[in-house]
Structure 1
């Protein structure tokens, strides 16, 4: 504006006063570099950061194929904003957005989220539009917003904390593809048509690194994490590898320089309410989860709280239905919770899992629904009992109803194993005692078959204690028997003896002759394992005679087989051969070919001891054929190993090595890695060059593998060490 007022040409007939208004012509302020500072200790997101950079890179996908919108989604506190901000800084440093970077927090999960017209008003002001020029309606604001962007060099819009596609759509630039939008949300915004990047918890290594980096930002000399690596790893695990929880833990350590990492980990690990402990006064994991929880419809909120009660790391859809008391699985609600990142799909089809801290939150908001847990425990017992019936089914008996095949039963048990084992621990509460003990007893045949002996010890230890407290002597006897078997299988024969003696005594008190016979049989196996062979022989003879008395011919056949093993140990091999032949004959008369395979395997050992190589090989061959037929891979491995020993002792190293390697593969497939390593070492020893010495030391003959205590495949034998 000119500073001269020109009155020429005017017709003035009196005094004249000139008045002028001066205005400074300057653009409205802009906010095109408004990124918040990067998060302290940011680490562990290289892959996700690479995906965001690729989506934002203008040279990565030109023309119409360019990625306009990228949406980062994940659980509250998972580090979405930190990742998006880091990506925005990286893009700015690359010079990809010379028009600037706009940042807007949409507060999508607050009580009053930012509306579309509020968001557009903020963006227009950030772009330099004067307030009086901003239209009133949202549609008009959106039109002006797109027009302003059309005249600018490429701009990146970072819309943080969106709760729905509707919050974001008005913010999308129009026309060309030069601009980019980066969105963060707790929900998977699939309807937005965006490039979707899902964020999961950090790896243990990245979580450990975050703790160390963030703590050193507060004090470069603070080396507590490095000095206590095991405690730091435990602390990271207790934080669920969730960045928010880890940052809170760092703040708690930083405000108390004298606190050891182990001390904080102990506080979290023993806290009745871990979420309450993960609060530094400014940030709270519970508050972060509560923002998502409050937005859920009532049905989804109830489902979340009940899923948190489910034992085990995953819950199947049928379990979800049982928990909510519905006939059909609540699949729609599960998918909605997954979109909100409060649950995620599990490793098995139809299964779902929760982050550890979300589970803790769900428990805290649930009413502790005892009825739901009762329903679930009843469901687990009903189906586990049916699966056990199928595993123990014998031809000629009525067909079990719930599972059509053994494979179906095993598949269900495999899927639910962790939850079933965890559910047994509910028996520590009085209301669940009886059913939890029965559930434990239903699992033993399966756990032996799969060789999950640690689980077998866990469930039977719990069942034994619960049954003892509740005065359930029958349940205690059966749990003691099964516990003894698992302890013997894991190399604890003395502890196994204690369990089997307890089983025997309880059966005698109860007058359970059949149970007592099984107890003597299993006690004999533990005595033999402990090196008390003569006592083992006496125990097997007692078992044999008791089985005869009660008419249990299958039990008698087992006792003969185990007696034969003990007689071999006592160097009474010819007597052992007679015992094995009697066992074979009894099992074959019963039509139980599989159980006969155990006796054939052990007969092969006796024949080999007597130098009858051809007959031994023939016996092993019969055992091997049957075991392969029934897919008993542990038994297959035992027999292959014995054949390898036979070939090695008859100076056929190539054949021996081949059988050892086959045995190793079978052991590995049967969840027996220690046995697999042992036979691989035997195979390797056969190929190693001999070391010349003045006086060669005689090689100790390898021990053959007897078979006692195998679980029963289809059709089931009552195994030599019988679970009850």
Structure 2
């Protein structure tokens, strides 16, 4: 490639936004001699063809052209990197652009890490007045919109009581006869200057989990999540509180469907697109005094009515300021209202809420005030006594008393864990920066990081005992967090997940990256099991950047392995291949053979996902050698099973059976339950293809029983699919339909496109065998779409083969010929047999 001039190519790391990154891409095009878009497209398609991509899936010039235009909101990672490689394929250079794209995305989507969602409503503070507003909301709820039910926006300045009104209405309306099956609350953080608003896609994912969707069944994309949310809420009325909304767009995406749901939105901004709006201002003077009277005590306020009115006015009649002042009066009976008002006036023209906070903090015991300030510097949103103890360098009992005093002073909100109001948090942070030296703040954060690392490792020890979860040296700050069972450990992780990922970010930002990467390596299996893909990717990318900056090559390799698994779980096999390859290189350099073996094995599986069978087999053989060398029998058994899978796909069923038998024997000796199930499924499939129907049935039933007992839903679905194929072969298509329908239900719940496509293909074969080609055609169209989207060409080939059979039964000979030709064309391209006749051979004569 001829460069236009002898300078270094553009550095993508300079870009801080997508527009800046596309500007750098235009510079790279000029630097590379300004090749035409047609030349660039040809280079991309040549590389992809060499990798086995069929011609009909090649990239268009118009698509490539769009990547050089400003104003794009989204860039496909693989195509973006391919464009860079077409312009400058130097080793490592395209990977730098991929990393830059992820970094730019991270700036706008890091908020997804810190979603704090609850399936119950937070405690309501003291609500005084607002009867007219409550009546207005109740009236609107009686006249719902048929599309989204009742949607009410409550707008107003900080401290005016928006959240208290929304939560009071949320509690009042179900009692008034408004149905709600679920109650959901989320702080959208529209005014959080440090972290920014939360990511709506992440909120939808959490909402779906709280509405009963299994973690591994939550769809990956925003549109799929929104559709699932609307589908569920259309049949299940929900009550949703969207607190601190940043704008109308974020609200619109989270509106439930159907006429019976209720959504209450709070925002400091005006939301004119929402037609039912309440503009909240300070309380009426009489209601403001009543609120003081309720909190400080009627005797105190009634004795000094003029001073009470003056204090209410100085608080701007704002509920938050009044609540803080009232709590200070209650805790300090020696202080008269007149004195308090005078102190407040001495502060001058300060913000009403901040002035009240300053007076309240002034009345705290020094140790309690110090704890409060340290709460403000932490990235976590809520505080247990143990976490507070770690921050304050005290014991949990003392921290519990401090939290109680802060709650009494209305400086902490009720809940489990207890939380700081966003205004109070900002003030606490500013006071800590003013009063606490940097060394004290650093030490407090360090103790909190260690606290969470100890607690997370203890939880993962119960959930994944096969892994090693290192802890910091010494006893855990704040005391041990004891998990008595795996279920309790999982509940703790689910509850603390927003805090754990916030800690990862803060650890990097404050110069203690080892806590970030150790937490990532501890938690990856939890992210995997729960399908928390966004949090998995973003936390690990944050930690990866820190590891690279620190020159921690071994840690970098381990994080790359985990990131590859995250990309594979998201259906992005090309990205996974790049990450696993880089991981294997890094781990080989530092002599970490065990993790290198993991990287190589996972690389084989990613290649297999893309129907690259020969390279996958090579990687599996390499991994087998590594695991043998290490004496890791469990890892060896899994890779023997993977090798058997490749052999079966390529039609070498005797070799597949032998590999699965060796894998099964090892698994039963070492007690590797997951590997045993995988080997049983593979062995059942191989025995079926070898004509041993009895043996196949025994192995597959054993796999089904074990996967059900261990809750391995993916393996359960695979066993059901293989049993369905067996029953078609044995002449019982009705049972095959029943089995494949069960597999389809599981696959849909899990949301794995490869599993869903496979289940759809063999469910179609079963329906075809019962004489229902109409049902088969719909399933097979879905399978072809899914296989195409995930580049699983083998799945597409099998689906076309079955579609040929269905078309034959419907009398559409031209369609049958087309599908047969396409199936055989793919079979030749892949270099593997797509055997004829089909497993659905009993439904019609075989076309040859």
Give the shorter-chain TM-score range: 0.5 to 0.7
Equivalent residue, structure 1, for 2:160: 77
Equivalent residue, structure 1, for 2:45: none
Equivalent residue, structure 2, for 1:344: 413
Q: How does 1:154-553 map to 2 (within 5 A)?
A: 185=323, 286=354, 290=358, 293=361, 296-329=364-397, 330-338=399-407, 341-346=410-415, 350-367=416-433, 369-393=441-465, 405-429=485-509, 431-553=511-633
Instruction: Please report the TM-score for the alignment, with normalisation by the length of structure 1.
Output: 0.55
Task: Note the C-alpha offset of 1:482.
Answer: 1.0
Per-residue CA deviation, residues 23-60 of structure 1 (Å, 9 max, x unaligned), is xxxxxxxxxxxxxxx99x9689725999xxxxxxxxxx
Distance 1:317 1:676 in 2: 45
Distance 1:679 1:188 in 2: 63
Distance 1:503 1:302, change over 3 A: same
Distance 1:306 1:49 in 2: 43
Distance 1:106 1:578, change over 3 A: same
Distance 1:392 1:118 in 2: 58
Equivalent residue, structure 2, for 1:103: 286
Distance 1:383 1:323 in 2: 15
Task: Note the C-alpha offset of 1:535.
Answer: 0.7
User: Would you say 1:569 and 2:649 are equivalent positions?
Assistant: yes
Distance 2:463 2:365 in 1: 43
Task: Note the C-alpha offset of 1:657.
Answer: 5.0
**Does the 8 Å CA contact 1:580/1:600 hold for their aligned counterparts?**
yes
Which range moves more in the overlay, 325-334 or 594-603? 325-334
Instruction: Calculate the aligned-residue CA RMSD, in Å.
Output: 5.1
Task: Note the C-alpha offset of 1:527.
Answer: 1.7
Per-residue CA deviation, residues 264-313 of structure 1 (Å, 9 max, x unaligned), is xxxxxxxxxxxxxxxxx996765575566555554444333333344344
Task: Note the C-alpha offset of 1:432.
Answer: 0.8
Instruction: Please report the TM-score for the alignment, with normalisation by the length of structure 2.
Output: 0.48
Distance 1:311 1:117, change over 3 A: closer
Task: Note the C-alpha offset of 1:530.
Answer: 2.9
**Does the 8 Å CA contact 2:594/2:630 hold for their aligned counterparts?**
yes
Q: Alignment partner of 1:319: what SS?
A: helix
Q: Alignment partner of 2:514: what SS?
A: helix
Task: Note the C-alpha offset of 1:490.
Answer: 0.9
Stretches of structure 2 lacking an aligned partner (at least 5 in a row): 1-128, 142-156, 170-283, 315-321, 331-348, 468-479, 778-808, 824-848
Per-residue CA deviation, residues 448-498 of structure 1 (Å, 9 max, x unaligned), is 222223222222222222111111111111111111111111111121112
Distance 1:387 1:634 in 2: 24
Distance 2:161 2:135 in 1: 12
**Does the 8 Å CA contact 1:323/1:376 hold for their aligned counterparts?**
yes
Distance 1:122 1:557, change over 3 A: closer
Q: Alignment partner of 1:379: what SS?
A: helix
Equivalent residue, structure 2, for 1:46: 137
**Does the 8 Å CA contact 1:544/1:560 hold for their aligned counterparts?**
yes
**Does the 8 Å CA contact 1:307/1:323 hold for their aligned counterparts?**
yes
Task: Note the C-alpha offset of 1:554.
Answer: 1.7
Per-residue CA deviation, residues 500-553 of structure 1 (Å, 9 max, x unaligned), is 111111122112333322222111112222332211100100111121122222
Distance 1:286 1:531 in 2: 62
Equivalent residue, structure 1, for 2:812: 695
Distance 1:539 1:680, change over 3 A: closer
Distance 1:338 1:573, change over 3 A: farther
The total of aligned residue pairs comes to 479
Equivalent residue, structure 1, for 2:224: none
Equivalent residue, structure 1, for 2:671: 591
Q: Alignment partner of 1:308: what SS?
A: helix
Distance 1:680 1:313 in 2: 44
Distance 2:751 2:403 in 1: 33
Task: Note the C-alpha offset of 1:637.
Answer: 3.8
Per-residue CA deviation, residues 582-623 of structure 1 (Å, 9 max, x unaligned), is 111111121323421121123333344455544333222212
Higher helix share: 2
Distance 1:81 1:162 in 2: 20
Task: Note the C-alpha offset of 1:345.
Answer: 4.4
